[in-house]
Structure 1
Amino acid sequence: MGDSFQFIDIIFFAMIAAFLVLRLRSVLGKRTGNEKPRRTPFDGQTNQRQGGDDNVIDLPGRRDTDSEDAEGDSRAADQPSSAWSRRTSVASDAGVEAIRAADPQFDPEVFLGGARAAFEMIVEAFAKGDKAALRPLLADEVYDGFAGAIDERESAGEAMETEVLGFKTITIAECRMDDRIAKVTVQYETDQVNVVRDGEGAVVDGDPDHIARVTDIWTFARDTASRDPNWALVATRTPDDD
């Protein structure tokens, strides 16, 4: 009898996991395994940092944008990462209509839901060093930067711990079309705990008892003329990079 109930529980949780995966893929797209090796549509123009030579934010060392307003140093955040954000905002300008003209299925509110899920997946996968999970969500140049940072961390014998405690705001800051490429820039304001430890478990960066208010600005892109439905992360920055 006990084995029977255990089997039912496994099936139930598997169905929940399958639903969540399908929901995310419906917004950000999915791979079938038959695509040709993809290239980012921003090859040669993805750099959004003035004077920089890459388009990947250094996730382990992100600056605390508002530490005094991040509930102090308490771990008791007012909103768990599994909950929807307090506030969402959608850019209501000509850019939204331009994307809709090229892709009638584009829905900014639905996109924000997928962007939120993608943020959590990407941050978690980066912290865990899970390149396989990162690959389908990132454009080539962004993936190379993330993978390189993971390799450096592993070579140094370091491990990263990141916990997204809550989303304060998720805002579509800009929508635009560059020829046939749709670009959507999303600004996230989150409460996080970020720690990097050495091989002995000692903290070398961050503070496990401090909640940091972090602002990230991520740009997703999709070729509206392609049959590939994927939205990929093509650039990351912080307000300090402007």
Structure 2
Amino acid sequence: MSEGSNWVEIVLLAMLAAFIGLRLVSVLGKRTGHEPVVTDKFRPGAAEVNAAPLRPLEATPRAPIKLPEGTNHALMPALTALAEVDPNFEPQRFVAAATSAYQMILEAFWTGSTSAMDGLVSDEVQDNFAAAIEAREGARLSNRIVGIDAVTITGVEMAGQMAEITVRFVSRIASQGEETPAETADIWTFSRHITSPDPAWLLIATDAEA
């Protein structure tokens, strides 16, 4: 075979190799670095890391309520039930607030200022006080509280979302011209909507113990 024919064969083989290479590239494609990783199902992979399950928050049990001094222990279940539906309720704190309201309301009534009762009494009670003040022609009374001897919760009721607490106040009240203060016992009922954001209890009824 001549030297020229050898060169022809070499060129033809090179062209054939290039053609085969181009076909392989077109069929198999190129690696781009984003190919899916092929895993061997017979070789275990890395262990999956699972987050620890969240433990449900446990409700903190409420401490047992304390009865104010002089309160009948028979009222404990009713007061406890009220505290369970109204987490802000605490009997001793309620008694302190009721005592302050008792003093402010009486002083407002004696001075003839019904506006000073705003936020402390219901509309009906305020109207009753206003009628009594009008009946005395707006005269200012010289009464004053000498001392409050006892404040006792005597009743607790729930009417739907409304809570009512009845309180007995025993006080000594002095009037002008009297040397000895008179002892009085007042029965007042306070009410509050337990879902209201306003923590205030309103006076909804008054009565004097015989």
Q: What TM-score does the superposition give when structure 2 sets the normalisation length?
A: 0.62
Which of residues 148, 163, 167 in structure 2 aligns to 1:167?
A: 148
> Is 1:211 the equivalent of 2:181?
yes
> After superposition, what is the alpha-carbon deviation per residue over 1:143-196, rounded to whole angstroms, capped at 9, x for unaligned?
1000111122225xx33111110111111111221111111111011111135x
Runs of 5+ consecutive residues of structure 1 not aligned to the other structure: 1-86, 196-206
Match of 2:164 in 1: 183
**Distance change in 2, residues 1:231/1:101 (3 Å):** same
Deviation at 1:230, TM superposition (A): 2.2
1:194-234 deviation line (CA, Å, top 9, x unaligned): 35xxxxxxxxxxx4323101000111000112233221000
> Which residue, out of 78, 96, 101, partners 1:113?
96
Give the 5 Å matches for 1:119-158. 119-154=102-137, 158=139
Unaligned runs of 5+ in 2: 1-67
Write the distance in 2 (CA, Å) between the matches of 1:130 and 1:239: 25
Q: Percent identity?
A: 33
Runs of 4+ in 1 over 6 A off after TM superposition: none
- Secondary structure of the 1:154 match is coil
Deviations 1:41-85 (A, max 9, x none): xxxxxxxxxxxxxxxxxxxxxxxxxxxxxxxxxxxxxxxxxxxxx
* Residue matched to 2:195: 225
Query: Normalization by structure 1: what TM-score?
Result: 0.54
SS of the residue 1:136 aligns to = coil
Q: Which aligned pairs between 1:12-91 and structure 2 lie closer than 5 A? A: 88-91=69-72
> Does the Cα contact within 8 Å between 1:185 and 1:217 map onto a contact in 2?
yes
- Tell me how far apart the structure 2 counterparts of residues 123 and 117 of structure 1 sit (CA, whole Å): 10
Q: RMSD across aligned C-alpha pairs, in angstroms?
A: 1.8
State the AA in 1 paired with 2:152.
T
Cα displacement (A) at 1:124: 0.6
What is the SS of the residue equivalent to 1:218?
strand
Larger radius of gyration: 2
User: How many residue pairs end up in the alignment?
Assistant: 141
Cα deviations across residues 66-119 of structure 1 (Å, max 9, x unaligned)? Answer: xxxxxxxxxxxxxxxxxxxxx943344221012112201111011111111111
Amino acid in the other structure paired with 1:211: P
Task: Quote the Cα distance in structure 1 between the aligned partners of 2:163 and 2:95.
Answer: 15
